[in-house]
Structure 1
Amino acid sequence: MVNIAGEIWETADRQPEHLAVRTLDSQLTFAELKAASAAAGGYFRQAGVQPYDRVLFIAPTVMEFPITYLGLHALGATVITANTMSTAAELDYLCEDAGVSRIVAYSRCADASGVVAERRDLPLDIIEPGHRYDTEPLTAAHDHDANATALILYTSGTTGRPKGAELTADNLVQTPKMFEPVLQVEPGDRFGTGLPLFHVFGQCVVMNAVLVQGVTLSILHPFTPQTMLRMITEHELTAVSGVPTMWNAILHAAGDYCADDFKHLRVASSGGASLPVEVINAFKKKFGCAILEGYGLTESNGTATFNDIRREQKVGTVGPPLPGAAVEIRDPSGQPVEPGTVGEVFITGPMIFKGYWNRPDATASDLQDGWLRTGDLGSVDADGYLSIVDRVKDLIIRGGYNVYPREVEEVLYAHPEIVEAAVVGIPHEHYGEEVAAVVVRTPGSTLDAEGLRAYAKEQLSAYKVPHVITFTDALPKGATGKILKRAIDRASLEAQERA
C-alpha cells in the first residue's frame, strides 16, 4: 500500500495502546488515532469527496490536525494545507489555482475561509476544538499509485505567484524511511514540536516520520518558549524539533532550567533557516544537548541532509545526505565542482517532488533529470557535509517562514500612492531576518509607514508585512531600468530596525 495514512494505521495495528499524539491537556493512543481518522475519512466520503479531489485544509498544531489530515489521506484526497494566517485573497488564489472542491478549517482561523467559501460557493467544514467525527469509518486506506499527487504545498520564488509543489504518495511514504537509520528510534522515545503542522517541516519531516515509526508525538499550540520548556520537562521528551527562532527564544527564557531538567533530551533538530553557531554552543552548554541541523525544501518534502547522531557532528553544516539522497554542487554551466568549492546546490532522491501543479515551464526549470535545482549556494566538504552559504534568490526567511519579496512588492505596487517599491531582507536578532521595504511615493502623497503597513495587512499574512519601511525619491537602477536591490543601503534599514 502506498498511503501515508495506511502506513500509520499499520503502526497502530502493531501497537494499539501506545500513545500516539498528545498535548499538554489531551492524548490519543495509536488505536484511538486510527479510529478517529478513519471516522474522519468516512465523514468526507459521505460528504461526496472522491479520491484525488483537492481539499484545502487550514488548521494549527492541534489534535484535530492529524485526525483530519490522516482521514483525508486515507480517503485518497489530494490535501492542500495552508498557513493559518492566510488572508482571504491568498486562500482565494489557492482555490482558483488548484481547483479546490472543499475547504476544511479550524474554527479559530476560519474567518478568511468563510469569505472564500461563500465567494466560490464551496462546501466548508468548520472544526471546533475537541471535534470528533461520528460517521461510519473507512475500513482501509486508499491504495495510491506511487506517483499519484497526495499533497500540494504552495511555495514560490522571487517572481510570480505561489506555485503548488506536488508531493506524491511515495514521497510521503519514503521520507520516514530515510530518517529511520538516522534517528535510531528507541521504543520509549518521546518526540515533541511546536512547529506549524501545515508547513512541510512540521508535517512531513516531524509528524509523519514520527508516527510511522511508532513514537509518541507531543504537539504545542501556540508556541511560547515557556510552554515548550514545560512540555519538554513534563512529557520527558527525548527529541524536539524547531526552527532557529524557537531555539533562541527557549534559550533566553530558560531561567533556572539546567541540564538536569533536560536529562531525557538526546536529540534537538533545527531547520527552516540557518542556526547561528553561538546559539548551538549556548544550548549545548545550558542543557547538555546538541542541536542538529538539517536541510530540505518544500519540493524535497523538507528532506535532503541531516547531522545524524551516528556520525561526527560538524557545527555550522546541515550534515551529509540522508540515506537514499544525494547532493551535488554545480557551477553556472551545470558541471559538478570539487569539494569545498561554492556553487549551486542540487539534490536528488525518493523525496523529490513530481513538479509544480499546472506549471510545466517552472517544473522543467527546477527539476532536471531527477535533480532538484534548489536555488541555494553551498559547498560540500570531503566528508560529504553540506554547508549553505547564501541564497541565489532573494528569499527572506522570517522566523522560519518564507517571505517572497515579489509577492509583497505586487501588493505594494497596487497601492494608488506608490510608484515603486523594493522589498529586501535585513538581519534580525530574533527572527533571523526582517522584511524591509524601500518605497517611492507619488508626488504630494502623505502616505506614512503606519498607513502602508495597515494596507499591507489587508492583503498579506502578518509575517509578510514589511516591518521596516523607508521612503525615498528614487530607487537605484541599472542601465536597463531594472531596480538594483544590491545597491540599496541595507545599513540604514538595519539602523531603522534597531531604532
Structure 2
Amino acid sequence: MNISDQLSITAKKNPAKIAYIFEEAETSYLDLEGAVQRFASSMEALGYKKGDHIALIVGNSPYYVISLYGALRLGLVVIPVNPMYTANELSYILHNGDVKAIITMDVMLEKLASIDQDLPSVKHYISCDSGAGISVQENLLQPKMKTFSELVGKGEGDFERPVLDDQDTAIILYTSGTTGKPKGAMLSHENIYSNAKDVADYLGINGKDRMIAALPMFHVFCLTVSLNAPLMNGGTILIIPKFSPADVLRVANEREATVFAGVPTMYNYLLQAVKGQKPKFGNVRLCISGGAAMPVSLLEAFEETFHIQLSEGYGLSEASPVTCFNPIDRPRKAGSIGTSIWNVENKVVDLFGEEVETGEVGELIVRGPNVMKGYYKMPEETEVALKDGWLYTGDMARVDEDGYVYIVDRKKDMILVGGYNVYPREVEEVLYTHPNVIEVAVIGEPHPESGESVTCFVVVDDAEISEKDLIDFSKGHLVNYKIPTRIEFLEELPKNTTGKILRRSLKSSVNS
C-alpha cells in the first residue's frame, strides 16, 4: 500500500468529500483523484517512467498536492526542494539528485534558467502559474517548457498505474546540511505510508478533521503530519500559502479548523498576536508542535491562553519523520516529546550502543517501518547513521520511568565548560521563564581558560532589560558553569523557512 493508492480508495468511498480548500476554492476527493490521474498520465506521455527522479520546487498550493500524488502514482521519485534556496543550493541538489524534470512556479524560472547548463539531465521544466503574469513562452528554458495546466488538462483519466513495491524509493529528502553538503534521505513507499498512518492513528486524526497546513509543504513535518496523515483518513486540508498569525487565526475561525501543526516559533507568534485578547481558534481540539524543542514556558502560556491541548513530538527526515508524540489519551508531560508512536521503537544508548539506565542521558536511536533506506549515493554516511537496523539520530535524550522521552540537546551543540557538559536547551528554558524574553538561543563560544563559555542571543520586549539583568536572573536557576558569560540582544533570531532557530548562523557570526 502507498499514499497515492490510499487517495484512490478514499476518493472511491467519499467522492464528494472536500479534500482541500485553497483561497476559498474547495476541491473534492473525486476532483483531486482525477487531477492526480491526469498528471501521472501526462508525465508518462512525456517519457517518464518508474524510478525517474523529479524535483518539486513549489510552495503550499494545489500544484504541490497534485504533483506529489501524481508523481508517486507513476512510480517517480520525488525530491521536494525549498523554493527559497539560492541558485547554487538548487544546483547542488538537482545535480546530485539526478533530476530529470522540475515542477516549479513561474517566478522561479529565471533563477533556474541561470543554472540550466549545469543540469544536463533535466529534460522538462513544468511551470505553475503564480498569477504574476509571467509569460513562459518567452522564457529562456524553451523548448523544455511545459505548463502544469497543460499537463493536467490533456492527461488521460483512465491512466494505468505501474506495479510499485513497498520498498521502492518514493521521496528523497535533502537534509539542511548543518555540516558539509546536504544528504538525500531515501524514503520508501512503506516509510511514507506507515508514518502517515501511524501518526494519524496515534493522534486520532480522522475524516472529520480539518487540518491547517501552514508549515512549508516541502518540509517533511508538513508532508506527513499536515498533508498525508489527514488525507489518509479522508480529512480536509486547509492550505495556507505562507504562515502568518493573522491568516492562521482567520482560516481557523472561518473554516472551523480542528487541528493545527506548527513549530515553536509559530506558537510564539500566535501568542504575541493575541496579547491582551480572548482568542478564538475555530474548533481546534489539538495543536501539534515539532521541528524544534518547545520551551516549557511557551507551551504552558499557549495552553493557558488558547485552552487547547498542545502535543509536542519529535522526528527527523531520516525517519519520515515522526518517532514520538505526547499521547492524547493520557496526560502529556511538559518538556517531553512523548512516547513512541505505533510501530516505532525509541531507545537511548551509550557510546557502545548499549541501552542506558532509566533517566540517564545518551544518544536517541530509532527503529521501525518509517526509517529510511539510506542516503542517496552516500554509502559511508549511511553506514554511520544506520547500524543493525537502528537509526542513530545524533540527539541526546533520556527516558523516564513511564517511557516518556526528553530531548536534552543535539549531540553536536553540547557546550564543554571546564570539562562540564552544558546543554543549550536547559539554559534556554531558564531564560524563557523571564517575563521579558520573547526568544533565546544559546551557543558555545571559544574561551581561553574554560575551553568554551555560554553565549546567549535574546529578543526582549523591553529595551531597558540589560545583560546584567539576565545574567543575574540566571544565577538563581543555574549552577555556576552554566551561567551565561555573554548576552547579545537582537531584534530577531535567524530562522529557516519552517521557523526553526538557526544556531549554526549564530555560531558563524561569532566565529567570523
Name the TM tier (shorter chain). 0.7 to 0.9
Query: What's the counterpart of residue 341 of structure 1?
Result: 360
Q: Tell me the amino acid that sits aligned with residue 66 of structure 1.
A: V
What SS class does the counterpart of residue 365 from structure 1 fall into? helix
**How do 1:229-240 and structure 2 match up within 5 A?**
229-240=249-260
Residue from 182, 207, 220 that aligns with 1:162: 182
**How do 1:92-491 and structure 2 match up within 5 A?**
92-121=91-120, 122=122, 123-129=124-130, 132=149, 133-137=152-156, 139-155=159-175, 158-255=178-275, 258=278, 261-262=280-281, 264-394=283-413, 433=441, 486=452
Q: 1:48 to 1:476 in 2, by over 3 A?
A: farther
Deviation by residue 1:26-60 (Cα, 9 ceiling, x = unmatched)? 22111111111111112211222111111111011
Q: 1:477 to 1:33 in 2, by over 3 A?
A: farther
Q: 1:430 to 1:354 in 2, by over 3 A?
A: farther
What SS class does the counterpart of residue 7 from structure 2 fall into? helix
**TM-aligned CA deviation for residue 148 of structure 1:** 1.0
**How do 1:40-119 and structure 2 match up within 5 A?**
40-119=39-118
**TM-aligned CA deviation for residue 114 of structure 1:** 2.9
**TM-aligned CA deviation for residue 378 of structure 1:** 0.5
C-alpha distance in structure 2 between counterparts of 1:485 and 1:7, whole Å: 54
**TM-aligned CA deviation for residue 139 of structure 1:** 2.8
Query: What's the counterpart of residue 475 of structure 2?
Result: none
Deviation by residue 1:196-225 (Cα, 9 ceiling, x = unmatched)? 000000012321111111100111112110
Q: Tell me the amino acid that sits aligned with residue 107 of structure 1.
A: D
Is contact 2:443-2:455 (8 Å) kept? no
Is contact 1:178-1:322 (8 Å) kept? yes
Q: Tell me the amino acid that sits aligned with residue 126 of structure 1.
A: S
Instruction: Pick which of 262-271 and 112-121 moved more.
Output: 112-121
C-alpha distance in structure 2 between counterparts of 1:485 and 1:272, whole Å: 30
Deviation by residue 1:315-338 (Cα, 9 ceiling, x = unmatched)? 110100001011110011211011
C-alpha distance in structure 1 between counterparts of 2:82 and 2:438, whole Å: 21
- Is the aligned partner of 1:37 residue 2:56? no
Q: Tell me the amino acid that sits aligned with residue 98 of structure 1.
A: G
Query: What's the counterpart of residue 424 of structure 2?
Result: none
Pairs aligned (count): 424
Deviation by residue 1:258-292 (Cα, 9 ceiling, x = unmatched)? 36x23611100010001111221111111110211
C-alpha distance in structure 1 between counterparts of 2:160 and 2:400, whole Å: 46
C-alpha distance in structure 2 between counterparts of 1:218 and 1:391, whole Å: 33
Q: Tell me the amino acid that sits aligned with residue 351 of structure 1.
A: N
C-alpha distance in structure 2 between counterparts of 1:151 and 1:6, whole Å: 16
C-alpha distance in structure 2 between counterparts of 1:236 and 1:301, whole Å: 28
C-alpha distance in structure 2 between counterparts of 1:255 and 1:101, whole Å: 49
**TM-aligned CA deviation for residue 366 of structure 1:** 0.5
Is contact 2:454-2:485 (8 Å) kept? no
**TM-aligned CA deviation for residue 363 of structure 1:** 0.6
Query: What's the counterpart of residue 467 of structure 2?
Result: none
| TM-score normalised per structure 1 | 0.79
Deviation by residue 1:115-144 (Cα, 9 ceiling, x = unmatched)? 223442422111114854212235344332
C-alpha distance in structure 2 between counterparts of 1:48 and 1:118, whole Å: 21
C-alpha distance in structure 2 between counterparts of 1:4 and 1:225, whole Å: 30
C-alpha distance in structure 2 between counterparts of 1:168 and 1:485, whole Å: 43
C-alpha distance in structure 2 between counterparts of 1:435 and 1:87, whole Å: 26
C-alpha distance in structure 2 between counterparts of 1:206 and 1:112, whole Å: 29
C-alpha distance in structure 2 between counterparts of 1:22 and 1:48, whole Å: 32
**TM-aligned CA deviation for residue 477 of structure 1:** 8.7
Q: Tell me the amino acid that sits aligned with residue 88 of structure 1.
A: A
Deviation by residue 1:435-479 (Cα, 9 ceiling, x = unmatched)? 99x9xxxxxxxxxxxxxxxxxxxxxxxxxxxxxxxxxxxx7799x
Query: What's the counterpart of residue 10 of structure 1?
Result: 9
Q: Tell me the amino acid that sits aligned with residue 490 of structure 2.
A: E
C-alpha distance in structure 1 between counterparts of 2:38 and 2:442, whole Å: 43
Q: 1:187 to 1:163 in 2, by over 3 A?
A: closer
C-alpha distance in structure 1 between counterparts of 2:241 and 2:442, whole Å: 23
Is contact 2:349-2:356 (8 Å) kept? yes
**TM-aligned CA deviation for residue 109 of structure 1:** 3.7
Instruction: Pick which of 303-312 and 318-327 moved more.
Output: 303-312
Q: CA RMSD in A?
A: 2.6
Q: 1:95 to 1:257 in 2, by over 3 A?
A: same
Q: 1:34 to 1:485 in 2, by over 3 A?
A: farther
What SS class does the counterpart of residue 160 from structure 1 fall into? coil
- Is the aligned partner of 1:495 residue 2:494? no
**TM-aligned CA deviation for residue 5 of structure 1:** 1.2
What SS class does the counterpart of residue 48 from structure 1 fall into? coil
What SS class does the counterpart of residue 134 from structure 1 fall into? helix
Is contact 1:158-1:394 (8 Å) kept? no
Q: 1:487 to 1:60 in 2, by over 3 A?
A: same
Is contact 1:147-1:168 (8 Å) kept? yes
Q: 1:114 to 1:210 in 2, by over 3 A?
A: farther
Instruction: Identify unmatched segments of 5+ residues in structure 2.
Output: 132-147, 415-430, 457-483, 493-512
Is contact 1:176-1:213 (8 Å) kept? no
C-alpha distance in structure 2 between counterparts of 1:383 and 1:110, whole Å: 52
Is contact 2:171-2:188 (8 Å) kept? yes
Is contact 1:183-1:309 (8 Å) kept? yes
Q: Tell me the amino acid that sits aligned with residue 39 of structure 1.
A: R
C-alpha distance in structure 2 between counterparts of 1:29 and 1:432, whole Å: 43
Q: 1:143 to 1:7 in 2, by over 3 A?
A: farther
| TM-score normalised per structure 2 | 0.77
Q: 1:433 to 1:33 in 2, by over 3 A?
A: farther
C-alpha distance in structure 1 between counterparts of 2:391 and 2:294, whole Å: 23
Q: 1:100 to 1:434 in 2, by over 3 A?
A: farther
Is contact 1:85-1:109 (8 Å) kept? no
Query: What's the counterpart of residue 450 of structure 1?
Result: none
C-alpha distance in structure 2 between counterparts of 1:332 and 1:22, whole Å: 48
